[in-house]
Amino acid sequence: MAKVPTDIEISRAATPLPITEIARRAGVLPQELEPYGDVKAKVKLSILDRLKDRPQGKYIDVTAITPTPLGEGKTTTSVGLTQALGQIGKNVILCIRQPSMGPTFGIKGGAAGGGYSQVIPMEEFNLHLTGDIHAVSIANNLLAAAIDARIMHEDKLSDEQLEKAGLKRLDIDPYNITWRRVVDVNDSALRNVIVGLGGVDDGRPRQTGFDISVASEIMAILALATDMEDMKVRLGRIIIGMSKKGDPVTANDLGITGALTVLMKDAIKPNLMQTLEGQPAFIHAGPFANIAQGNNSIIADKIALKLGDYVVTESGFAADIGMEKFMDIKCRISGLVPNCVVLVSTIRAMKMHGGGPKVVPGKPIPAEYTQEKPEHMELLKKGVCNMVKHIQIAKLFGVPVVVAIGGGFKGDTPEEQAFAVQAAKEAGADAAVISNHWAEGGKGAIELANAVVAACEKPGNFQLLYPDDMPIKKKIETIATKVYGAKGVQFEALAEKQIAAYERWGLGTLPICMAKTHLSISHDPSLKGVPTDFVVPVREVRASAGAGFLYPLLGTMRTMPGLPSRGAFLDVNLDESGNVVGMF
């Protein structure tokens, strides 16, 4: 195979079409477009009114098996499939999340896809784009500032003085505040901080911390809002903590909902870019997939489904996390019904699940994954069970499943690929193909595109995993047993207390957004393959009442990543011509 240039070299060598031309081809009118330079733009929500009577296209979700820490190429596959559908003459639109800049400068690097299947220009995609993440950060931190200011002023003012100012005493418990500040940088030093140090005018000292911006509930709201008014309602419902009487305190109580909506009024408009081969790509919202729903925005999908005959979207991590949340949260709220699931699987990941050595970002990939030796087939045979399990998870929702075996990896043999394809078909996949879109672009995924088109024509029987009115604990148990394969769930005392409170507050009908590791189907990242005979521990259950879900914590979840010993930022610079170099 010929050497493939770096992602940024490929992106730089391409000549993007003017974004106005991409919009015209997609069917966006000039008055519905807000260009941000030549290669990116926002699309006004008024387009939905014009297109309301137009039929919807086919809805395709790309997910994956349990990945190695390097990831298995979901975004690359999403872009490659989009380009391949374009190659076979289909009117197709891509819808993916905007990446956080924290991982971009940390270990993971960018998230625009890779090789000859990426969104361009990749540096625009991976950096500020149109400022949506900054808007989320400012809105989040304005709310945090309002909380501390309210506590400080209530400490100083009488009820009469508050009333003259048009306020009522909220009596927020400063030691029971759940709302944290955010910044879009990997910064472990900010995980735990004390605010309010200094004098009486600096606020009341309390311990809190920072999350990365994409972990903010406001980001989750941006992704789940169906229109501007819905976003405003969801912002107002945010629970920031408790009063001293134990009652929830909301953004509405603080009188800040209008200001938050103003800060988010442009961020709610989807961003338009393009693939390397000229297909339209909506880049909008980027909630974490471990503690939030891990999918792009409902609004972007709704617009795309009216404009395109096929819409390719992607859910974070594997089918047990992002895809389950795509079905049970995103589709539940949006009312949209998927026509096909594409499950990305790699020989490397399956070998890892079969007992292969640990894969560590930043270190050389072990020979078991890169050298062609007969004994490595045994690792694949033992680890293919993980792919089989994820096919079964996807089929729980009554949607056709197409498996894409990632091609072009050094060390993969034709025999290994053929074995994986056959195993996928025997497990019930509607189709399984080798796809080499990373090295060949759209033409390398034409077989995958044809399989997806055929799958979309099959009758589906889409179903959610649980109804709204199922009790909270039963919903959690349903996901743990049916999706993860657990034999049961153990609720710790704090979780029991929280669940009882949420049911009293009328939050019992909300869907469940499990917060767990992405490195295992279970709650334990060390358990590879298909774990059995395990009990899922739920240590606490938190409420994202604004976004509209409850999230049980199945272990210690970091909402602020740290930087590695050698961060990706060390290689990023500007060359003499002002071009970004070193980004991947």
pLDDT digits (tens, 9 = 90+) for 441-481: 999 999 999 999 999 999 989 999 999 999 999 999 999 99
pLDDT value of position 7: 85
CATH of domain 474-553: 3.10.410.10
pLDDT > 90 in the chain, percent: 85
Rounded average pLDDT over 525-537: 96
Catalytic residues: 74, 76, 97, 108, 289, 317, 409, 438
The per-residue pLDDT for range 230-245, each reduced to its tens digit, is 999 999 999 999 999 9
CB-CB neighbours of 194 under 10 Å = 10
Phi-psi region of 23 (alpha: psi -120 to 50; beta: other; left: phi over 0): alpha
Predicted TM-score (pTM) of this structure = 0.96
The per-residue pLDDT for range 390-446, each reduced to its tens digit, is 999 999 999 999 999 987 777 789 999 999 999 999 999 999 999 999 999 999 999
Under the banding of pLDDT at 50, 70 and 90, the label for residue 69 is confident
Using H for helix, E for strand and C for coil, what is the string for 249-311? EEHHHHCCHHHHHHHHCCCCCCEEEEECCCCEEEECCCCCCCCCCCECCHHHHHHHHHHCCEE
Q: For all residues of the chain together, what is the average pLDDT?
A: 95
| Domain range summary for the chain, segments of one domain joined by + | 7-130+267-456, 134-262, 474-553
Under the banding of pLDDT at 50, 70 and 90, the label for residue 108 is low
Q: Is residue 12 predicted with pLDDT exceeding 90?
A: no
Under the banding of pLDDT at 50, 70 and 90, the label for residue 291 is confident
Q: Is residue 220 predicted with pLDDT exceeding 90?
A: yes
Q: Does domain 7-130+267-456 have CATH number 3.40.50.450?
A: no
Q: Rg of the Cα trace of the chain?
A: 24
Superfamily of 134-262 according to CATH? Domain 2, N(10)-formyltetrahydrofolate synthetase (3.30.1510.10)
Buried b (16+ CB within 10 A) or exposed e, 482-516: ebbbbeebebeeebeebbebbeeeebbebbbbbbb
